Amino acid sequence: CADGGVRRAAGRGWAAGVAAALPNLRAGDRWSLDNDPGAAVRIAGSMFWYAYWYGAAEAFTWGATTAAAVSDDAGPALAGACATASLGACRRGEIATARALAERAVAVAAGEPTAARFAWQALSSAEMMMGNYERTLVCQQHALELARPAGDTAHQAREHAARAVPLRYL
């Protein structure tokens, strides 16, 4: 899946493939919101890393639209959509919204490690932007602990490197 591909050594190739598929993903997202909300959740959630690394503003919007349209009953998969939306809000400077979306992601991801690690990463970004450096470190640690058993070395490296910023401010 492209979500995992953009985090690997061949990530540029995967990212180019995702970029080429954006018109189809866009159409799929629009159709899914009306006809298959579960598919909309999967599309928006699977865009987390692509949006994070490549700044795809459109993917942030998909996350936000899906998060607004789908109830928490959708389960842990909704965490990815909320986390993607949270990153978008953070990048737009809407920090309170980013935090609320990330907290929702953490809540709906309970018991599902893959979804939870993205939720904790999104929450760490919001906390960092709010100047809550101790809380940022706690969130980063949660994300790191969830990335290890998943074997996600890119996420592990990101969390280790990201710790430098709040530690510096502390």
Look over the chain and give the mean of its residue pLDDT values, rounded to a whole number: 88
Q: Answer yes or no: is pLDDT of 138 > 70.
A: yes
Lowest mean pLDDT across 17-31, 87-101, 105-119:
17-31
pLDDT band at 8 (very low <50, low <70, confident <90, very high): low
- Note the pLDDT tens digit of each residue in 23-56: 888 888 889 999 999 999 988 888 888 888 887 7
Read off the pLDDT of each residue in 149-155 and give the average, rounded to a whole number. 86
| Cα–Cα separations (whole angstroms), residue 25 to 19, 39, 96, 116 | 9, 11, 28, 24
Does 3 or 56 have the greater pLDDT score? 56
Q: Which pLDDT belongs to residue 56?
A: 78
Q: Which pLDDT belongs to residue 159?
A: 92
The closest of 143, 138, 142, 137 to 155, measured between CA atoms, is: 143
Q: Which pLDDT belongs to residue 12?
A: 57
- Contact call for residues 86 and 106 (beta carbons, < 8 A): no
